[in-house]
Amino acid sequence: MSDLLVSAKTFLFVPGHRPDRFAKAAACGADVVILDLEDAVAPDRKGAAREHVRAWLAEGHQAVVRINAAGTPWYHEDVAGVGRALAVMQPKAEDRAEIDALAGRLPGMPILPLVETAAGIADAVAVCGADAVVRPAFGSVDLAAQLGVDHRSHEALRYARSALVVAAAAAGRAAPIDGVTTALDDEAALIADLGHAKTLGFTGKLCVHPRQVPVADRELAPSESEIEWAKSVAGLVGDGSVAVADGQLVDKPVELRARAILDRAGEPFRPAG
């Protein structure tokens, strides 16, 4: 199932205490559903949410589970109840030792670290490099609150986003999943957020409402112009040399980017020329 986690563009959060929404979320077209035991669930509902999630997974349904952070009163019980999950999302991820400890309790379980603190960004290469980590996610709202900036500001969080993209690449992990867009009824804001994230190298999006899913799926996919460019470039320098296409120098790194675009678009590779 790691292949799905690597390639998925849309990740839809569903509150763990709302089992009436689980099936609807699974049917809405999101690549991955995240059953949330953390921020979306009040303290007095944590236990009930955990049981709802456990029951859903026991029925054979696939979902990622966002557990409560290490050090909270609910952490250990959450970990004990997610053995059937597709993956675990670990919030406040900033310490590789904590990720390794979680992996030790859940052998073979993929982990998606949610990097949402200054310490997590500062140590992002180590966080992404933990053996169980498949792909990191960016917690824009929590990080912005800690930094005292507007979570809607692209400029304020540009460094943090770029740092996570670089860290994931340095650790050999899949490109990160961008944080939520809290403006539920503003498609223009969602599209702007997606465009910014895509420009920086993100390839996935955390969604908080089903209506965000098709927009994110569309906007994160390679555009027609990107696909046409990739088709014109891929295969030009297979021997490791350089070539010229439409007045632009094409070397091996450029060709590799073109092939990656075709792969994300599901287009077959055919040598250009």
Q: Interhelix angle for 158-170 vs 187-200, to 10°? A: 50
What's the one-letter identity of residue 4?
A: L
Which residue pairs, CB below 8 angstroms and at least 24 apart, start in 213-219? Answer: 213/10, 213/12, 213/28, 213/29, 213/30, 214/29, 215/187, 215/190, 215/191, 216/9, 216/10, 216/190, 217/9, 217/10, 217/29, 217/31, 219/191, 219/194, 219/195
Q: 241 in helix, strand or coil?
A: coil
Q: How many residues does the chain have?
A: 273
Residue 31 in marked binding region: no
Chain Cα centroid distance, residue 97: 21
Which tokens belong to 73?
């009163």
Residue 66 in marked binding region: yes
Residue 18 in marked binding region: no
The Cβ of residue 190 has, within 10 Å, a number of other Cβ atoms equal to 23
CA atoms of 255 and 243, how far apart (whole Å): 10
The Cβ of residue 256 has, within 10 Å, a number of other Cβ atoms equal to 13
Q: Look at residues 202, 159, 164, 166 and name the one whose alpha carbon lies nearest to residue 181.
A: 202
Annotated binding site for Mg(2+): 116, 142
Annotated binding site for substrate: 66, 116
Annotated binding site: 66, 116, 142
